[in-house]
Every structure is written in C-alpha cells, then in structure tokens.
Chain A
Amino acid sequence: MKKKLLATILCAAMTATMLSGCGEAKTEPAPAPAQTETKTEEAAAPEEAPAETAETTVEGEIHYAYWQDALTPYLEESAKIFEETYPGTKIVLEPTAWGEYWTKLETAASGGSVADVFQLNGPNIGKYASAGVVVPIDEYIASSDIDLSNYPAALNDLYTVEGKQYGIAMDYDTIGLWYNKELFDAKGIAYPNENWTWDDLVAAAKAITDPATGTYGITADYADQGGFYNTVPLFGGYIISEDKKTSGFSLDETKAGIQCWVDLMKEGYSPSQASLTENPNYVQFMSGKVGMVMAGDWFATTFASDEAFKDKCDVTYIPMINGKRTSVIHGKANCISAATQYPEAAWKWVEFLAGDKANELLGKSGAAIPSHKDYSALYFEQFPQYNMAIFADEAQNSSYPYPTSKTAAEWGDIMWNELISAYSLEVSVSDACDSIASQMNDLLATE
C-alpha cells in the first residue's frame, strides 16, 4: 500500500515537473493510471496523504462563474473543503446576475479572461462546445471514479455535443404547479392535485380571477422551460425534431401547446405580459395577487425564505393533457474553459462538485436538487411543508428532455422575439409560430 502510494506520488511529481519544464500548460490530461490510483488511495485513506499528493499535481487559482445567488453558501463551503484537500488551490467565486450572465460570459470568453470553470445551461452548451470555448471531459471522466449513471441520463445527453461530453450536471430541475392556498380557500375551491387536467386549471384560474381586487388565477406569460416546453409535448408537438434538423413550430400540435397559455392571457386570467415583465411571475405570486404559477423546484428556497409567505403555498404536478403527464428536465453543468491555465485543478474542482460531498452540501443548502441520485432527497427534506416529492417523481417517470441544438441560443432569441408579441396578444400564435419555424429552419441548416 505505502509503496504503491510512493510510486504514484513520484510519478505524479515527475509529470508535474515535465509539464512545467517544457512550459506547455495546455497538455492533454495527465497520465490516467497514476491519477486514478492516487484518487483511490485518497478515498481509502483520506487522512494520510492527499495533501502531499495534491501539492504536486493540483494547484492554481480557479475562478468559478455562476449565476444563481442561492448557490453561494453551498459553493463557499465546497470551496473551503476543496482548498483544504488541495492546498495549492484557491477557488474564487464569481456570481453574475442572470440577466447579465450570458453577455458577460461571452464577452469574457472572447477575450480569454473567462473563468476557469463556469456553469452552462441547455440552450448554450452547443454554442460553447462547437466554438471550442469549453473542453470535452470524457478522458477525465474515464480516468476518475465518476459513474455517469448516478446522474440523470437526460442531462448527460444534454451536455454531449457530437459524441463528446462537455460537462457534468450539478443539479436538475423539473417543473411543478405552485399554488397559493389562501386564494383557493378564499374562493372555496379544492387545491390542485395530481389528477388535475388542463381544464381544471382553466376553471380554477377563472374562479380565482377577480378584477375588483386585482387578483389573477395564474401567470401565463412567456416561459419556455416553465411554460410551453411542457405543454407542447403533451399536445403531441415538439420544439425541434430528434435529428435536430427541423423546427416543430409549424405543427398544429406545437401551436396548441402555446395557444393554451395565450388563451389564459386572452381570458384575462393572468396579469398581462407587460405586467409580468415589470415584476416577474414569482414576485407577483409572492405578493399574493396570483393563484397559481407553473415554475421550477428551485423556487422552493425563494418561497420558503419569505417569513410572511412560506406557509401560504404548496406545489403539485403539472396538470395532465390528453391523459398524459410530463415535465421538461433541465440542469446546469460545470464546464472547463479551454483557456484555463490550470486544467488539472479545474478538472478536480468539477470532479469535486460532481462528487458525494458537494452533492450532500448542495442538498442540505436547499438551493437546488443535487444531480447525484443518492442525494436528491436531501434537498426535498429541506422543505417538508411542500410536496417536493413530485419533482423527483417527474424526473424519474415522466421527464421530457430539454430541447436544444448547436444554435439553440440563437433560435431561443428568435422564439422569444416572435412569441412575446403573441403573449402580448398583438399577433396570433399561429403567425408567430410560422415565422419562428422558417427562421429556425434556416438556422438549423447552418449547423
């Protein structure tokens, strides 16, 4: 045991010297076997040697960019443990507001000042991977302990571009129907439940809407992940074909999945698109003027942290349409910049965040559902007052993969641009969809 360890240390030290000696920082991931075994040793005897081993291979200042502020406490704790494990490293957290994240990330990536490790999402992975801004991590994964089957398959697929995997999901999220119990009680209507159909939702929205008090049944503004990405497949439509060559927006089924939202808007059961742009759906929901919001599990922490509001709401499944149930599944992934000076340390950080300890911390922080299947439950336990089990059930039994392609960021903008007028009731859903279909097909042809 000891001998083997010594050998690995020597081996690792030699690689390190060689690497620094020739001054070429961007070498392929260091020799696999030595690494793996070092890792095994670490796991077996964490007290004994990791610090020494780490010093020789893993060092550098790793900047980590992300957008969700709720993740900060979990990341701070993770960084602390990581730095203790690898004393040569330092993790610098760089949170950015959601509205500015993609702009900043791209500007930084163009300039080579991008963070060493950063979070990507479904719409953007294709763009970053095909531009070579992030590096494939298949070899790293192969030489590590990571078992990809612990993470949702849909998310491994999401972050695989042209056969290469570029990131490991750190969390996953599905969508539920959040409702304000007080407003349902006030109107004497039963709470939404798992047997609800879309018609039940419309009926409840109608009952709760009361122009006199400025109360609305639901928020039905433009939302992809929290909105029509879920209803479109239920009506039998799709956003993008499976071979990623054609847009599904010209299909009547797809249009129906969007029309159902715009109809809620037309009936006046939802605050207007303009109003929901000024104050987003969850803010209006929390102010008590809206009965229902279809939104992701990650709002649990926002709702639960508001003393006055936390006990007023609960969550259930998205209503069924045509007897079917589904929720789109998505998750953020940690990806490594191609420009990082410390690819080894960057990978170690990604590996750490995908590992047991980080997933446990994430679950307990209540900021997001840990992607590792063994730890998801920890997250749900943080919110005993809500029916959080539905999110795990959706992920396992009725999830729908998040639609994406290489140009997803661009057709995402097209979608928004055209549909926002439909949700604002300025143009018909059908016209907007036809326009998206033609622009999107042009784009897909360039992929």
Chain B
Amino acid sequence: MKTKKLKISRIFIYVILIGGVLIAVFPFLWMILTSLKTNAETMTIPPTILPKKIRFDGYVTVLTKLPFLKIYANTIISSVVTVIAQLVFCAMAGYAYARIDFPFKNILFTATLAVLMVPGTFFILPQYRIINKLGLLNTIYALFLPNLFSAMGTFLLRQFFMSLPQELEDAAYIDGCNRGKAFIKIMLPLVKPGLVSLGILTFRFAWNDLMWPMIVNTSTDKMTLSASLSFMQGQYVTDFPSIMAGALMAAVPMIVLFAIFQKQFIEGVAHTGIKG
C-alpha cells in the first residue's frame, strides 16, 4: 500500500517536472522554428507550426545587415574586461577592508555600502556626461568603463575574506611571506568560490545590460548584442524570421559556454545564495 502511494507521488513529481521542462524549452523551439520559415509563413492565421522548407534567409539578412562578428566581439570584450577588472579590483579592496587597518576605513566602507543601496539607473545620466567629457562616447570603452568598479563586488568579497581564519594568514607570515604574497598565494585561492560567484553575477549583468550601451553608443559596429537586437527588432518589424534568427544567434554563445562550464556555473550561482 505504502509503496503504491509512493509510486503515485513519484509519477506526480515527474509530471510536474516534465511539464516545467516543456515550458522552459518551448520558446527556444519556437525561436528556432520561426527563424527557419519564410516571411509569408510567419504571417498566416492560424500560425504554421513547421516550415514547409527549411530556409536560412533570416540568418542571411542578419549576417549581411549587421556586423555580427564585430558585435559579438564588442559584447565579449566588454563583458570579459568588466569581469576581470571587477575580480582584481574588488578582491584587492575586499581584502583590504577585511584585513587591513588604514585611516578613514570606516567612512570609506560605509560610503561603499551606501552605493550598494542605490539602484544602477540612478547614476546613468551623470555617467553619460562623464563618458562624454572623456571623449569616449561611441567607443568600446564606453561600454564597460563605469562597470569596472563595483561596490557590490567589494562587499561580497570582503565577506568571503572575513570568513577565513586569521591563523592561515599568520602561518604564511611565519613562513616568511609578505602581505602581497600572502594575499595572492594563500588568501585568493581560498576565496575562489567567491570569485566565481562574483564573476558569474557580473558576467550575466554585463552580458544582458541594455540601457547603458544603448545610450552611450550609436554606431552599429560599436553595439553590444542586446542593443543590436533592440535595433533589429525596430528595423525589421515585419521580418519575423530575421528577428528570431538574430535573437537565437545572440542566445547561442552563452548557452554553449554554459554547456561547457555547467558545473562551475551552477556552483557559482549556488554560492551567491550561501554567502550573500
């Protein structure tokens, strides 16, 4: 009796899970199917499910009308630079706030925490003007410059450093390490989960950000993926296959990256919850 009940609840679990999978996957499927249709096929009522003949017109349009490789490169460069800079700068600052005493430490740390509380949109208008003053509008630098510095990252890594026992560091000093060496050799490897988490959070943000790149850069060859998708949607209103082809091409790199670093991704995300 008990086993039967157990079995029913098992089946129930799988039904829900598989239903969820369908909901999660369907939009991707629909994106792929649409991208392979002709324009006329997408504009029928009721909608056609499968394309009569597989066509790559949408992809051709996107690739000829937009400098897609350049756009990929812009997005990757700006995301990667942002991640690396944040990891380096925030690890340094986070360590300093956690372990070193220096003048005005409390005031500076409180100020950093205050930035954490302010929504990112708040800063956009003056940031735009600063980039303008620097003469960097419509350049790749504009895409990432303000994002290199993160109050959130500093705070997150400080928490990680705080949780490490002081004895580890002391042992390093006894072994003749100086502070810099202890930081790089002993402390940094120990906060690796923190670095991975911060890296993923930052990457996801930089990859997805729409408003900032849209404001600072205007040329098609200086755009990020998200900004150029918004451009495409505006430009090819009627051309659903091209729009879907563009969306798919923008989505693929991250999915591939995820497929390769699946474990690290999931662990990194999981860690944000444990420490934050």
Contact = CB atoms under 8 A, between A and B. Distances in A.
A112 B128 CA distance: 12
A68 B235 CA distance: 8
Contacts of B138: 108, 113
Interface in A97-111: 97-100, 104, 107-108, 110-111
A111 B238 contact: no
B231 interface: yes
B237 interface: yes
Interface in A291-329: 302, 306-309
A283 B237 contact: yes
B219 A283 contact: no
A211 interface: no
A99 B219 contact: no
B137 interface: yes
A311 to B, nearest CB: 14
B45 interface: yes
B43 interface: yes
A110 B125 CA distance: 12
A19 to B, nearest CB: 22
A132 interface: no
Interface of A is mostly: mixed
Nearest to B43: A287
B45 A96 contact: no
Contacts of A108: 137-138, 218
Interface residues of A, number: 32
A95 B235 CA distance: 9
A12 B201 CA distance: 58
Contact of A286 (B43, B129, B219, B233): B43
A366 B230 CA distance: 27
Contacts of B233: 97
A280 to B, nearest CB: 6
A280 B237 CA distance: 9
A286 B38 CA distance: 14
A95 B40 CA distance: 25
A98 B234 contact: yes
A216 to B, nearest CB: 13
A79 to B, nearest CB: 15
Given A283-B43, A286-B43, A100 B220 contact: no
A374 interface: no
A21 interface: no
A94 interface: yes
Contact of B40 (A99, A110, A308): A308
B219 A100 contact: no
Interface in B102-145: 128-129, 131-132, 137-138
B237 A100 contact: no
Interface string A74-103: 000000000000000000101111111000
Interface string B35-57: 00001100111000000000000
A98 B238 CA distance: 13
A287 B218 contact: no
Contacts of B235: 69, 95, 97-98
A306 B220 CA distance: 26
Contact of A100 (B44, B132, B231, B236): B231
Contacts of B220: 94-95
A214 B234 contact: no
Interface residues of B, number: 26
A262 interface: no
A111 B216 CA distance: 9
Given A108-B138, A283-B237, A94 B43 contact: no
B231 A97 contact: yes
B218 A112 contact: no
A65 interface: yes
Nearest to B137: A113
Interface in A256-291: 280, 282-283, 286-287, 289
Contacts of B238: 282-283, 286, 302
Interface string B225-247: 00000111111111000000000
Contacts of B128: 107, 111
A63 interface: yes
A107 B234 contact: no
Nearest to B39: A306
Interface in A48-63: 63
Contact of B218 (A104, A283, A306): A104
A306 B232 CA distance: 19
Nearest to B132: A111
Interface string A114-130: 01000000000000000
Contacts of A65: 218
B203 to A, nearest CB: 26
Contact of B234 (A94, A99, A286): A99
B2 interface: no
Interface string B248-262: 000000000000000
Contacts of A113: 132, 137-138, 218
A108 B217 CA distance: 8
A243 B128 CA distance: 39
Interface of A: 63, 65, 69, 72, 92, 94-100, 104, 107-108, 110-113, 115, 214, 280, 282-283, 286-287, 289, 302, 306-309
Given A113-B138, A287-B43, 11 more contacts: A95-B235, A97-B234, A97-B235, A98-B235, A100-B230, A107-B128, A107-B218, A111-B137, A112-B137, A115-B218, A283-B43
Q: Please list the 8 inter-chain residue pairs (A to B) with the smallest Cβ-Cβ separation, ordered nearest first.
A: A97-B234, A113-B137, A111-B132, A97-B235, A99-B234, A287-B43, A308-B40, A113-B138
Interface of B: 39-40, 43-45, 65, 128-129, 131-132, 137-138, 214-215, 218-220, 230-238
